Amino acid sequence: MKKVLVFGTFDGIHQGHQCLFREAKKYGDRLYVVVALDVTVERVKGRKPRLSQQNRLREVARQPEVDEALLGNPGDKYAVIEQVRPDVICLGYDQKAFVGTLGEALMMRGLSVRMVRLKPFHPERYKSSLLHL
């Protein structure tokens, strides 16, 4: 069984997120989605998320393509990847946080994971920062 992993904030699910999940699911049999912790969102985006991590986790888990939704790890951001042991990690078209050193960090942990950058779905319309969710 091929496992696919995506990660992000998901502060109000919109059609861009739904497309991300559909496209990621094409790369495997099971889709795991890691939802960023509130403290991580604050650190990366410089603001608190609109919805709590538990509410965002619940919203993600309700999506039909998502087989399992998990919260990120507060201490070791790569621990959840080790836990899932995905075959593929799909990155959003504009995803920058934690991506620069991801391949190297996974290799150091003995994980061989294919990384795929997904195409945007109408980014001029379906982008969280534009929708003010």
What is the tally of structural domains in the chain? 1
- Domain of 21? 3-131
Residue 5's contacts (CB-CB under 8 Å, 6 or more residues apart) are 31, 32, 33, 34, 81, 84, 86, 88, 89, 90
* Structure tokens belonging to residue 16: 């861009």
**28 φ/ψ sector (left φ>0, alpha ψ -120 to 50, else beta):** beta
Q: What is the pLDDT of residue 125?
A: 52
- The pLDDT, as a whole number, for residue 132 is 45
- Which CATH number do you get for residue 35? 3.40.50.620
Q: What is the predicted pLDDT for the residue at 131? A: 43
Contact 68, 33 (CB under 8 A): yes
Q: Among 78, 83, 79, 50, which residue's Cα sits nearest to residue 68?
A: 83
What averages of pLDDT result for each successive group of 10 residues across the chain (133 residues)?
A: 96 92 97 97 92 98 98 91 96 83 90 92 53 45
pTM beyond 0.85, yes or no = yes
What is the pLDDT, as a whole number, of residue 122?
Answer: 57
Q: What's the pLDDT score for residue 55?
A: 98
pLDDT at 97 (0 to 100): 75
